């Protein structure tokens, strides 16, 4: 006869392992959700930064136009045009650099979210395998201690 304590122990062990796997899966899902949220915040931050840089460039153009008007210089003056062109190029370079950095950061955050989801799936699978192994091990141990009725 199989020992009810061995059976109960194996069942509780298997149940505990499955519950631990579910808990780890939920924890990893929360981490993934947080990384997704961080990615959205990074996208918003990049947009705000982009708008601020454009506003700074517009102020630069406005100031340049005011200075040229105060100094009685035409808007077609080569030095003013060269100054505006240099400012525009520098501003575009900064915008491109910030955009690339933001895309890189968002990519890292997406990878972290995907990795957390994968870890959660693996934790669930590992828990099921451990539970099955625990039950099989209990069966083997019961076989070892159960007397055989043979003549």
Q: What is the 3-state secondary structure (H, E, C) of 58-123?
A: HHHHHHHHHHHHHCCCCCCCHHHHHHHHHHHHHHHHHHHHHHHHHHHHHHHHHHHHHHHHHHHHHH
Task: List the one residue out of 115, 119, 129, 126 whose CA is nearest residue 21.
Answer: 126
**pLDDT band at residue 6, thresholds of 50, 70 and 90?**
confident
**pLDDT band at residue 1, thresholds of 50, 70 and 90?**
low
Instruction: Express each pLDDT in 47-93 by its tens digit.
Output: 999 999 999 999 999 998 888 888 887 777 888 889 889 999 999 99
Residues 6 or more apart in contact with residue 36 via CB below 8 angstroms: 109, 110, 113
148 DSSP 8-state letter: P
Identify whether the C-beta of residue 39 lies closer than 8 Å to the C-beta of residue 113.
yes
Q: What average pLDDT is seen over the chain?
A: 90
Q: Averaged over 32-37, what is the pLDDT?
A: 96
Question: Is the pLDDT reported for residue 112 higher than 80?
Answer: yes
Of the given ranges (11-25, 33-47, 65-79), which has the lowest mean pLDDT?
65-79
Q: Scanning the structure block, which residue is given the tokens 């100054």?
A: 83
Annotate 97-111 with b (16+ C-beta within 10 A) or e (fewer).
Answer: ebeeebeebbeebee
Distance CA 123, CA 30 (A): 14
pTM of the predicted model as reported, rounded to 2 decimal places: 0.73
**pLDDT band at residue 15, thresholds of 50, 70 and 90?**
very high
Distance CA 39, CA 107 (A): 8
Who wins on pLDDT, 74 or 12?
12
């Amino acid at each position: 006869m199989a020992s009810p304590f061995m059976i109960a122990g194996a069942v509780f062990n298997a149940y505990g392992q499955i519950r631990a796997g579910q808990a780890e899966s939920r924890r990893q899902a929360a981490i993934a959700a947080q990384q997704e949220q961080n990615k959205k915040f990074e996208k918003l931050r990049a947009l705000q930064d982009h708008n601020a840089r454009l506003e700074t460039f517009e102020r630069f153009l406005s100031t340049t136009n005011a200075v040229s008007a105060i100094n009685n210089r035409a808007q077609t003056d080569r030095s003013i045009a060269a100054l505006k062109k240099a400012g525009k190029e520098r501003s575009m370079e900064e915008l491109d650099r910030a955009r690339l950095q933001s895309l890189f950061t968002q990519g890292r955050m997406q990878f972290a979210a995907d990795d957390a989801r994968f870890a959660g799936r693996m934790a669930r699978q590992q828990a099921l395998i451990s539970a099955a192994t625990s039950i099989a091990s209990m069966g083997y141990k019961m076989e070892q201690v159960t007397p055989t009725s043979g003549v």
